[in-house]
Chain A
Amino acid sequence: MWSFLHKLASPPHFYGISARMIPWFYAAGLLAVAYGSVAGLFYAPADEEMNDGFRIIYVHVPAAFISMSAYMVMAIGAGIGLIWRMKLAHAVAAGAAPLGAWFTFLALITGSIWGRPMWGTWWEWGDPRLTSELLLLFLYFGYMALRAAIDDTAKADKASAVLALVGAVNIPIIHFSVEWWTSLHQGSTLLKSGGPAMHPDMLYPLLAMILGFALLFAALLLARVRTEVLHRERRTRWVRDLIMPAGEAA
């Protein structure tokens, strides 16, 4: 197990193995999203209160779930990078940030479109759930801006890792915001005591969408980390040999 992990963490090995994994993650993710979309849009029964408007859940909840998971990946990568000085972990953190920002944007915009007919407003300043999710977007932006502002990769890794770790307090705040304070936002339908409060025909497409988004996120993350590794290893022998195979004249 450890030797496998060690091997995986070696940049040339990761570069090769990730290339083979990415298409499978994309394929499985697309399959799950295709099933979830068709079943969620056309086969799940309409909600009693929200009617067909509830179907926005099939993109909103998975996007929000990934927006927070991506931050966890980023913060854990940053932490491992800081403590064990593992460069691949920093690369993972750097790769997760722009994706997390996109999924946060999606969660915000689909939530806004959903909020308009249900709450009568696109946005409510001061609402704890909405505000903490918006803060998440700014944390991603701050992380990316900080990395972009520092030329030295090792220094950028360290500074941005500290920011990522400090910002991690926002994750439980987002999750519990609807319980700690009064919010327009409804509580969790899935993660509640007594199990999910949903009809199975509504629930399974949602679970498929969450799984599908996670698989697509994994594919995108692997692709980004691969690029990051290539850039970081630009001065090494293996990258030189990869770009210019032996025998090819300069």
Chain B
Amino acid sequence: MEIFMMGKYSAHVWSSFGITAVVLIICVLQARRRHRIVLSDLRVRIKAMESEQ
């Protein structure tokens, strides 16, 4: 456990790394979510168009 201690800066160092990890994960999830939304919109749209014909 001792290697995780950053002297008096523990909270600063670990919160910086923690926030960075969280933001990177949010970036990945956002990109995936947006792709899924566009795909499902397209499915609805194209199905509607095909059934009209």
A binding-site residues for B, Cβ under 8 Å: 37, 41-42, 46, 50-53, 55-56, 58-60, 63, 98-99, 102, 105-106, 109-110, 113-114, 116-117, 216, 220, 223-224, 226-227, 230-231, 234, 239-240, 243-244, 250
Contact with A along B7-41 (1 / 0, CB 8 A): 11110110111011001101110111011001100
Query: Number of contacting residues on B, CB 8 A?
Result: 32
Which residue of B has the minimal Cβ distance to A232?
Answer: B38
Number of A-B contacts (CB under 8 A): 91
The complex places the Cα of A42 from the Cα of B4 at a distance, in Å, of 8
Chain B interface main SS type: helix
With A117-B9, A220-B31 known, 14 other A-B pairs at CB within 8 A are: A37-B17, A51-B9, A52-B10, A53-B6, A53-B8, A53-B13, A102-B23, A102-B27, A110-B16, A117-B12, A216-B24, A244-B46, A244-B47, A250-B50
Minimal Cβ-Cβ distance residue in A for B7: A52
Residue B3 is within 8 A (CB to CB) of chain A in the complex: yes
Q: Are A52 and B20 in contact (CB under 8 A)?
A: no
A106:B23 contact, CB within 8 angstroms: yes
Contact B26 A102 (CB under 8 A): yes
Q: What CA separation (Å) do A42 and B27 show in the bound complex?
A: 27
CB-based contact B31/A231 at 8 Å:
no
